[in-house]
Amino acid sequence: MNAYDNALRQLEKAAQLMVLDKDVVLRLSSPEKTLMASLPIKMDDGHLQIFPAYRVQYNQARGPYKGGIRFHPQVDLDEVKALGFWMTIKCAVANIPMGGGKGGVVVDAKSLSQAETERLSRAWVRAFREEIGPAKDIPAPDLYTTPQIMAWMADEYSQLVGKPSWGVVTGKPLEFGGSLGREQATAQGGMFILSALIDKMGLKADKLKVAVQGLGNVGGGMAELLYKQGYKVVAVADSKNVIYNEHGLDIPKLLEHKKNKKSLTDFPGVKEISLAEFFVLPVDILVPAAMENQITDNNAPDIAAKIILEMANGPTTPEADEILYKKGIVVVPDVLANSGGVTVSYFEWVQNLSNNYWSEAEVTSELKEKMTSAWQAVESVSDKYKVDFRTAAFVTALERIAAAIKIRN
């Protein structure tokens, strides 16, 4: 399943519904710039290794390009293009004045030493230095990229341009121009959306069972927030293990176990199950917070959840979307559900440019306002067109992007 083909099908579906100007559709059917580089890195043992690297600048109608950089062995150009497109949509759904982009390096990040990771991070900046910048293109963390990596990138760019330029990337450590509230922003934004949805559906948190796929920054953060707010998290999955306890998991203890043991293996009181079994568990809410193309036409018919909250990018294929819609399952799309991360990235960028830093309470308050506004806009379009939330989110975004393009022309 090609993620970029899926993305363009989502564009086409929404464009047909809203009768979007064909010139706008054409502009959004391909990236404005596709950049590629080969990064030569001297490894710790002295041998040279070449890593393919990408930066896709998808659309800047609403502002400078914005989007993460992932270090992953399965990175390819179509994936980066799809992610750049989704970032364009996501920024417009969140109504922040930025466009969309994405970057990546084909590498098994887990195999690198800290020194090798630093050399790779700085090399990426050197390769794309002419194309990025606080007023042009602002990268951020993604899969297997961290605040430390963002700090190295900001430092490298600042050295190259000869002045401090912390606003070139977001997701940095607090000590290096980062924002309070950024680490948990994606999960917190998702929780704001989920709370609004269950209120709309007349459901109560303490009566709902949840399964979370992914225990990285986003999935782990979601599991923790869900637990704190009274949801019963009965299953979690990471890249190696899937565990289940129908009575609920002690998430703080589980996350501590994973941190100490680097694995979910031997966590007490749970049953090991397969990933295939995970997706069809008798839960109320399913939270995919890992990779693309996890919910497909193969497993969608057997999904029992009432709600799917997409905290990963592109976890559901178009074919699966149709099946889930017919089953009456509510899908909260990635471009809405996980837009809290890019929203607080935008806040960080604003703070860097103004050199005026906000309290955590201010960040959380501003995030809640943005997420609530995004939810209300998407809900309104869904009601107007009688369509699913994904299509409604795309229509919301495309209306805003088309208006910006019209003004520019």
Section 194-212 average pLDDT: 96
Contact 55, 49 (CB under 8 A): no
With 0.85 as the threshold, say if the pTM is over it: yes
CA distance 370 to 364: 10
Residue 102 appears among annotated catalytic residues: yes
- Catalytic hit among 66, 90, 102, 370: 102
Q: How much is the pLDDT for 120?
A: 98
The CA angle 264-234-183, to the nearest 5 degrees, is: 65
pLDDT of 72 higher than 80: yes
363: confidence class by pLDDT, cuts 50, 70, 90: very high
Q: For a pLDDT cut of 70, what percent of the chain falls above it?
A: 100
Contact 307, 197 (CB under 8 A): yes
Contact 71, 104 (CB under 8 A): yes
Contact 94, 70 (CB under 8 A): no
Backbone CA torsion sign across 57, 59, 62, 68 = negative
CA distance 308 to 160: 44
- State the average pLDDT for the chain: 96
What is the set of domains in the chain, with CATH numbers?
32-175 (3.40.50.10860), 179-409 (3.40.50.720)
pLDDT tens sequence across 306-353: 999 999 988 999 999 999 999 999 999 999 999 999 999 999 999 999
